[in-house]
Structure 1
Amino acid sequence: MTVRVDVPVAPARLLNVDALRGFALFGILAVNVWAFADPYYASPESNPTFDSGLDHAIRFAISLLFETKFYLLFSFLFGYSFTLQMAAAERAGTAFMPRMLRRQTGLLAIGLVHGAALYYGEILSTYAILGLILLACRRIAPRRAVQLGIGLVITVGVVWMLLGLATLAEGGAAATAASDAAVKLTAFGGDAAATLGFHSGHLPETVAAIVALQAPSAMAMFFFGFAAGRVQVFANPDRFRPLMRRILIFGFPVGLLGALVYALAAAYAPGGGVETFAFGLGQLTAPLLTASYVVAGLMLFRTDPGRRVEAALAPMGKTALTNYLFQSLVLGVLFTGYGFGLVDRLSPPAVAAVVPLIFATQLVLSRWWLRGHRYGPAEWALRAITIAGIPPWRRHGD
């Protein structure tokens, strides 16, 4: 089959893309909340304050269903939206390259400010850099993009698994991070200046860690999303039902099995070769579980109840950048020196309960905001940079 490589003419706005982006924000919030609430999160040390069976079960569920899956979903949607940006530039009759370079520069600036002030673990700056690679590859065929994505996934997974085996062979383990947890607890439990110092001071090393741990997989998902956008999967999902069925039948159980191995290692063998090996296995299988989430969402949105879910999530996705930043702001106010300083003071069940409360509030606020505005505040700023002009701020009867 011959695949055309010209820019597809897609609808200006796809509700299912926005809805999936809103869903991705839920998963990202469910993971990021622990980086604020638990100083021992991602540490080989167990939290001595909350160590009950229920506490461990909740952390295990987060590792199983959310960790390493939802940033992949967001990355996939970034790649898909890249093709929508291509189509938007074509409709506007403007050159795509300078437009996208401005957009990535703006995203990098927003990401660095976000990381230095609100959340040192932010990923926007990484997306900004990886987007330049996608920009350079924008003329490749969908099949080639899929091949590159698969190659990256396999390479990353195998490298981490071999690193885990090497660590086991040497009998080594990761150094304790108890001191890091103590520093974080002191900073988040202190004043705003202490919190700001922690975020800004840890940003460089965290960006480096994200590049090593997440960037290759995110780039793979960029390629997968780009390929899906070029053949307009979301514009006409019914054309791809056989493929979607195979993803659910094969991808979901394999992805869930890999997630189970990773979650068990993170819970019961943290910080050493076993967890490193399991992380590599998870990198191999997480894209399959993420793909299953996408397919399940698309199939749900084709049903009558699902259309209501889609309509509820879409405003959140339309203002995804604003909502991502807003999540960090709210979590900062709740758990750090910017506000109440509740770090290590809420039990895991209470922390988990915070997630739907914040998300529900965002759903309501997003719908309310879009009644009077075309874009979220952060989206407006990024669009202004992208088009090198002043976009409309409010709606005017449209």
Structure 2
Amino acid sequence: MWRPFDRCLTPAAPRPPLPPAMSAVDPPPPPTAATPPSGRIRELDVVRGAAICGILVVNIQAFAYVMMAYVNPAVQGDLTGLNYVVWMAGQIFVEFKFITLFSLLFGAGLYLLADRWARAGRRPVRAHWRRLFWLGLIGLGHAYLLWFGDILFMYAVCAAVAVLFWKRSTRTLIGIAVVLLVIPTTLISLLALSLPYWPEEVVHEMRTEWHLSPERVQEETEAYRGGWREQQPYRIESALMMHTWAMGTSIFWRTTGVMLLGMALLKLGLPASVASAGGLARRTLFFGLPGLALCAYGAFRNAAEAWDFEYTALQGELWNYWGSLPLALGYFFGLCWLVRSGAAAGLVRVLEAIGRLALTNYLMQSVIFTTVFYGHGFGLFGHVERWQQALMVVVCWGFQGAFSVWWLRRFGQGPVERLWRWLSGGRGGF
């Protein structure tokens, strides 16, 4: 019987010291015969680039519409015809999958840097905390001054906890990750079971918040079409909600758990331990197809329930929550196959460049689309339909791909990556 991790679980020879590393967003590779002289694993750069591109497909909805439309698409924007197809495709193939990929790679970077620093006689946890402190500050500025949907601050918090476990065995990392991943499901299930016993006025308020009234939608829309000062109350309120309620009930547990899984994958020797392109292709199907089935069922069921509060908010998201994990692994192996097989070499080179400038490209997306949609720019908030948003995403991919290739040829490292390294006390800078 074929087992997807059999070859990864065989004892490995001791690893030689790691080459000079990049950041936790842009992690260094383990030394292998296939590793190029620069010390990078090309597959990880390509996967990271794909993750940055995929994240934008989801994030553009939060740039273009009110915050609640991100979880309940019926709140704002047309959902018929091509708009429905675009939304459904995003839910099935993208939502939660590429942020999961990014979290896996972030966890892998934490482990690789910690291992390198430990071999050099440094204190890995303290060194990581210094870097994460600056990443968190960058994230706070991003969230409260530009766009509430920032992930950098939350990644810094989650990574500060995850790195404490970098020495643990693979089995321990996976076990802790599973426990953390179960916590949001447990909390949502308890909420759903207890809802009949809650005061009716509280439940009514929750329903009202979920099915946002047209007046509330218009109020928020007008604020974001206004100047920066008019946007601030809504931006701060939304960012605080992300950093308190969402962080405490879901984001912290899931993100930290997935980071630990990323550490475990590296300890299993992936992707280098899969010797053939055929092995990567088999793993793509093994993980991807079950995950795809779960995500597709959840998306169509939510639509059939008309995104009802009692179903979608309390039960319907669980299909995507769990289905996105194996589907993200399927994407991981599929992208590694794309590199190994030599197929689409031009696309692979562009994704690699985007991945090497991951932090720069992520923040650039916020600058571009807050300018497009908010009132301090073109003021298109609430005006752009979902199929048009998809076209904007494709244009942005093309621009960021060309920019990343050009920038790397001239400078070798992204501007925000260089700033972060300088703030963290690394060599180089401005």
TM-score higher than 0.5: yes
**Matching residue of 1:16:** 43
Amino acid at match of 1:80: A
Kindly report which structure 2 residues correspond to 1:265-280, keeping only aligned pairs within 5 A, or say none.
265-269=301-305, 270-275=307-312, 276-280=314-318
Q: Give the structure 1 partner of residue 34 of structure 2.
A: none
Q: Is the 8 A contact 1:64 1:263 kept in 2?
A: yes
Deviations 1:1-42 (A, max 9, x none): 657898973243221111111100111100000011122523
Letter in 1 for 2:399: T
Counterpart of 1:128 (choices 156, 173, 188) is 156
Could you tell which deviates more after superposition, 192-201 or 255-264?
192-201
TM-score, normalised with respect to structure 2? 0.82
Residue identity (%) = 24
For the pair 1:137 / 2:165, whether they are aligned, the reply is yes
Deviations 1:51-108 (A, max 9, x none): 4332222212211111121111110010111122224435765432332111110111
Correspondence 1:286 to 2:316: no
RMSD (Å), alpha carbons: 2.8
Distance in 2 (alpha carbons) for counterparts of 1:382 and 1:285? 34
Distance in 2 of aligned mates of 1:201 and 1:266:
27
> 8 Å contact 1:72–1:287 — kept in the other structure?
yes
Q: What's the secondary structure of 1:238's corresponding residue? A: coil
Which of 290, 295, 299 lines up with 1:263 in the alignment?
A: 299
Name the count of aligned residue pairs.
391
Answering whether residue 105 of structure 2 is matched by residue 105 of structure 1, we say: no
Over residues 279-299 of structure 1, what are the superposed CA-to-partner deviations in whole Å (9 max), with x where a residue is unaligned? 123222210111111011111
* Equivalent of residue 242 in structure 2, options 206, 213, 225: 206
- CA 1:92–1:241: 2 relative to 1, 3 Å: farther
Shift of 1:255: 1.0
Cα separation, partners in 2 of 1:368 and 1:72, compared to 1, 3 Å: same
Matched, 1:238 2:272: no
Mapping 1:1-398, distance limit 5 Å: 9=18, 10-11=30-31, 12-39=39-66, 41-42=69-70, 44=72, 46-47=74-75, 50-89=78-117, 94-164=122-192, 166-167=194-195, 174-175=207-208, 176-178=211-213, 180-211=216-247, 212-238=249-275, 244=280, 247-269=283-305, 270-275=307-312, 276-386=314-424, 388-393=425-430
Question: Which runs of structure 1 show a deviation greater than 4 angstroms over 4 or more consecutive aligned residues?
Answer: 1-8, 90-93, 165-173, 239-242, 244-247
Amino acid at match of 2:395: L
Ranked by relative contact order (alpha carbons within 8 Å, sequence separation 6 or more), the top structure is: 1
> Hey, what does 1:396 align to over in structure 2?
none
Residues 1:166 and 1:246: Cα distance change in structure 2 (over 3 Å): farther
Q: Is the 8 A contact 1:149 1:223 kept in 2?
A: yes
* Distance in structure 2 (CA, Å) of the matches to 1:373 and 1:314: 15
Q: Is the 8 A contact 1:152 1:220 kept in 2?
A: yes
> CA shift at 1:347, angstroms?
1.7
Offset from partner CA, 1:252-304 (integer Å, 9 cap, x none): 22211221233124434325221121212322221011111101111111112
Q: Which has the higher mean CA deviation after the structures are superposed, 86-95 or 300-309?
A: 86-95
CA offset at residue 126 of structure 1?
0.9
Deviations 1:91-144 (A, max 9, x none): 765432332111110111011000011210111111101111112111101121
Q: TM-score, normalised by structure 1?
A: 0.89
Letter of the structure 1 residue corresponding to residue 253 of structure 2: P
Quick one: which amino acid aligns to residue 293 of structure 2? L
Q: Tell me the amino acid that sits aligned with residue 86 of structure 1.
A: A
Structure 2 residue identity aligned to 1:174: R
Instruction: Tell me, in whole angstroms, the C-alpha distance in 2 between the residues paired with 1:260 and 1:165.
Output: 25
Q: Aligned partner of 2:172: which letter? A: R
Secondary structure of 1:228's aligned partner: helix
- The runs of 5 or more residues in structure 1 that have no matched partner are 394-398
1:157-211: CA deviations, max 9, x gaps?
A: 3443454455489896732323553332012111222224432342111222431
CA distance in 2, matches of 1:167, 1:303: 52
Q: Report which stretch shifted further, 172-181 or 54-63.
A: 172-181
Shift in alpha-carbon separation, 1:183–1:91, aligned structure 2, 3 A: farther
CA distance 1:369–1:5, shift in 2 (3 Å)? same
SS across alignment from 1:286 = helix
Cα distance in 1 between the residues matched to 2:289 and 2:52: 24
Question: Is the 8 Å Cα contact of residues 281 and 334 (structure 2) preserved in structure 1?
Answer: no
Q: Distance in 2 between matches of 1:273 and 1:363?
A: 42
Q: Which segments of 5 or more consecutive residues in structure 2 lack a partner in the other structure? A: 1-9, 19-29, 32-38
Range with bigger deviation, 165-174 or 79-88: 165-174
Q: Which whole-Å CA distance do the structure 2 matches of 1:311 and 1:210 have between them?
A: 36
